[in-house]
Amino acid sequence: EETVETVMISFLICNVRESITLMPFRLNGCYEALEGGNTAEALIDFTGGVSEPLSLDREALRLHSDQRRALCQTLTKVHECKSLITCSIWTVESVLECGLVRGHAYGITAVRKVRLGEKVLKRGGTSRLFMVRMRNPWGTTDWTGAWSQRSEQWQQLSRAERDKMGLVVRDVGEFWMDFEDFCQHFTDVVVCRLVERTLLWPRSRWREHLHPLSRCGGCINHRDTFLHNPQFMFEVRAKEEEVLICLQQEDRRMWRKNGKGENLPIGFEVLKVEVNRCSRVQCVVEQAASSIYMDSRSVTLRGTLTLGRYVVLPTTFLPGITGCFLLRLFSHSPPDVYAVVRCENDNVRTRVFKESRNPEFNLRTIFYRRYPNTDISVEVWDIPVPSHAAHKHTGLMGFLCSVVIYCSVMQAQTQQFNKNSGTAAKTSLCYFKICIVMCCIFIDLLFIFCFIH
C-alpha cells in the first residue's frame, strides 16, 4: 500500500472576533489565482472553520415579517457564537443608486434589536427595530439610505443615546442598516462557524492513504458503483440531533496552468443502517439525507437525524474521477470524553467527562523517559456505545484529536548502567501538569476524516 503525507498549513490569525490579520503567504501557483474568488472558500482557508451559505428570498422576506425576524434571530445567534458573517448582492460588480456595490462582499459586524425613542417615533416607524452593522472592506461607507452616515435618523439621536442602544461605529468603512432594507437588497449570506482548535492542534498533519482498488463510484444515480465509494459510520445517541456535515475538496488552482484547475462536482449521501452494523453497506435501504452536488470547494448540509446508526458516503458526481477530500461532522451534543497521555511505552488515562462542553483534565503525572528527547502526546477520545464490541474494527471508536507536547527535562539527566548491554543509558525524569480545556464555540467535533479515493 502506497502512503502519501500532506502537510496541513496553519495561517496566522490574530484577534478573530475583532478583525483578522493574515500573513501574506504565496502557497501555490502564481498570484493570478488570487484574482476574484469565492467568499465561502476564502473563509474556510483563512480560519479552518465551516462555511454555510444562506440564500435569501427577497420577495418572501419583504412580504413576511416572521421570516425576517427568524433570519435576524439566526444571524444574532451566529454572531454571539463569534462566527464570521459576510453578505453580497448577486450579479456582476456595479454600483446601485443607494450606494451599495453589487458583486462585492460586505462583512456583518453586529446585529442589534433596539428600542427607538419618542423623537424618532414622531417621524413614523415602529418602537422596536432590528439593525445590522455592515463593513465595506474597501474602507468606504457608500450606503445612502435610512440610518446611513448623514441620514436624518442619526441627527435625532444624541451620542449618549447611540451608545446606550449600542449603535456605535468602531472601524473605518462601517455603517448601520435597517434589517428590512438589508433583506430588500442583499441576496446571499455566508456564515463561517469557527471551530476552536488552537488548544488541541498546535501542529497538525493529515495522513492520507492511496487504495489500490477504485473507490470512485459516483453519485447515487449510478447504482452499480455508488456503494464502492468510501463509507464513514457514525451514531446519533439522542432522540433527535441536529448535525452539520461539511465535505471539502483540495484546492485545485495550482493546476490551472495545466488546464486542470476546475473544481470537481462533489456531494454526499447519508444512509441510515442497522443499529448493529459494523461492516460496509452492500445495499441502499434508507436514504436519510442528501447534499446538493456542485463544483465548489465545500459542500455543507445541516439536518436533523433521529436515534440510530448512519453511514456517510462522499462522492464525485461521475464515477471514476479521483480527488482528495476532507469530511467533517459536527453536532450540538457534547461527547463523553477522556484523555490519554503517552510517553514512550507508558500511558496514563483520565476519568471520563460525561456530556461536558468544557472538560478540564487537571492531570498531574510523572514519566521516566529512557530517551530525553522523546515527545509526550495527549489524545482525546470519545466513549463509544458499550454494547457494540466491534467498534475498534469499524472506525466507531471516537478518536477526536491529539497534540504533541515538547517537554523540557526538568531534572538533571542521570546515568544508569545497563547490565544487559554493558552500556550507559540516559534516563530523564519528566514531571508536568496537563490542563486541557475543550472550548466549543458552536459545535462539538465528533470525527475528522481525510482520505484519497
Which whole number is the average pLDDT over 309-325? 92
How many residues are recorded in the chain?
453
Question: According to the model, what pLDDT value does residue 411 have?
Answer: 41
Alpha-carbon distance values, 135 to 19, 158, 327 (Å):
11, 23, 32
More confident residue, 27 or 176: 176
Say if strands 346-349 and 337-343 run parallel, antiparallel, or are unpaired: antiparallel
Residue 426: what pLDDT?
39
Percent of all residues in the chain with a pLDDT value above 70, rounded to a whole number: 70
424-441: pLDDT as tens digits: 333 344 444 444 433 332
pLDDT for 402 equals 66
225 phi-psi bin (left φ>0, alpha ψ -120 to 50, beta other):
alpha
- In this prediction, residue 200 carries a pLDDT of 38
CB-based burial label for 233 (10 Å; 0-12, 13-18, 19+): buried
> Is 104 among the residues known to form the active site?
yes
The HSE-up count of residue 291 (CA atoms within 13 Å, CB side) is: 30
**pLDDT band for position 196 (cuts 50, 70, 90):** low
Where do the domains of the chain lie, and which CATH numbers do they carry? 3-193 (3.90.70.10), 211-330 (2.60.120.380), 337-447 (2.60.40)
Span 97-118, mean pLDDT? 88
Looking at residue 257, its pLDDT comes to: 74
The whole-number pLDDT of residue 430 equals 41
pLDDT at 348 over 70: yes
Residue 136: what pLDDT? 93
Least-confidence region, from 31-35, 214-218, 265-269, 283-287: 31-35
Compare 256 and 219 and report the one with higher pLDDT.
219
pLDDT at 291 over 90: yes
- Residue range 364-385: mean pLDDT, rounded: 80
Catalytic hit among 15, 28, 79, 104? 104
Q: What is the pLDDT of residue 9?
A: 30
Residue 150 grid cell: 448623514
pLDDT digits (tens, 9 = 90+) for 397-428: 466 666 776 655 544 344 343 444 443 333 34
50-64, 201-215, 353-367 — most confident range? 50-64
Of 79, 136, 228, 453, catalytic: 136
Please state the three-class secondary structure of the chain as a single string. CCEEEEECCCCCEECCCCCCEECCCCCCCCHHHHCCCCHHHHHHHHHCCEEEEEECCHHHHHHCHHHHHHHHHHHHHHHHCCCEEEEECCCCCEECCCCCEECCCEEEEEEEEEECCHHHHHCCCCCEEEEEEEECCCCCCCCCCCCCCCCHHHHCCCHHHHHHHCCCCCCCCEEEEEHHHHHHHCCEEEEEECCCCCCCCCCCEEEEEECCCCCCCCCCCCCCCHHHCCCEEEEEEEEEEEEEEEEEECCCHHHHHHCCCCCCCEEEEEEEECCCCCCCCCCCCEEEEECCCECCCEEEEEEEEEEEEEEEEEEECCCCCCCEEEEEEEECCCCCEEEEEEECCEEEECCCECCCCCCECCEEEEEEECCCCCCEEEEEEECCCCCCCCHHHCCCCEEEEEEEECCCCCCCCEEEECCCCCCEEEEEEEEEEECCECCCCCCEEEEEEEEEC
What pairing do the DSSP bridges indicate for beta strands 3-7 and 188-193? Answer: unpaired
Beta carbons of 39 and 88 less than 8 angstroms apart: yes
**CA 195 to CA 51: how far, in whole Å?**
11
CA distance 374 to 62: 63
Query: Is 358 marked active-site?
Result: no
- Alpha carbon separation from 354 to 106, 191, 235, 333, 382 (Å, rounded): 41, 30, 17, 11, 10
- Going by pLDDT thresholds of 50, 70 and 90, the confidence category of residue 5 is very low
pTM: predicted TM-score of the whole model, two decimal places: 0.70
pLDDT value of residue 170: 79
Q: What is the pLDDT of residues 19-56, one digit of tens each?
A: 333 333 455 556 666 666 788 888 888 888 889 988 89
pLDDT over 90 percentage in the chain: 34
Rounded to an integer, the average pLDDT of 186-203 is 69
Q: Output the pLDDT for position 316.
A: 95
> Of the given ranges (1-5, 21-25, 250-254, 269-273), which has the lowest mean pLDDT?
1-5
Return the higher-pLDDT residue of 98 and 204: 98
pLDDT at 114: 84
pLDDT of residue 27: 54
The pLDDT score that the predictor gives to residue 438 is 36
Determine the average pLDDT of the residues in 316-344.
86
